Amino acid sequence: QVQLVESGGGLVQAGDSLRLACAASGRTFSRYALAWFRQAPGKGRDFVAAISQNNAAYYSGSVQGRFSISRDNEKNTVYLQMRSLKPDDTAIYYCAAGTTATRRPDNYNTWGQGTLVTVSA
């Protein structure tokens, strides 16, 4: 089973860009579907983006066209490139690994600790 560690969060202004990274341990990274979820203060955990083992990508409607998910199997890392950030994007961002790239959090059995993204107006 992989272990996941996110990085790249921080404080940015509306309209800025930010790239999150999630590094995985283990030698079976390429076998996993990977996803990013986020949790805003006082809210539930929401799907952001997912990428399958063969690089098919899926996005929530709220980030479609602004965020891009990618993976580098050589580096055991999944990325989330975020552009045109809005204050509503403020949340803790979690990466997750599972067997199938879906929007359902219960499909993923391994989670990182999260990284905070704060977007000021």
Q: What is the pLDDT of residues 79-102, one digit of tens each?
A: 999 999 999 999 999 999 999 999
Distance of CA 37 to the CA centre of its chain: 6
Taking the C-alpha atoms of residue 101 and residue 91, their distance in angstroms, rounded to an integer, is 21
| Terminal-residue alpha carbon distance, the chain | 40
| pLDDT of 1 higher than 80 | no
Q: What confidence score (pLDDT) does residue 27 get?
A: 78
Tokens 């067997």 sit on residue: 99
Q: Please report, for residues 33, 36, 41, 61, 112, the alpha-carbon distance to residue 99 in angstroms, rounded to integers and kept in the order given.
A: 5, 14, 28, 23, 16
Tokens 């098919």 sit on residue: 56
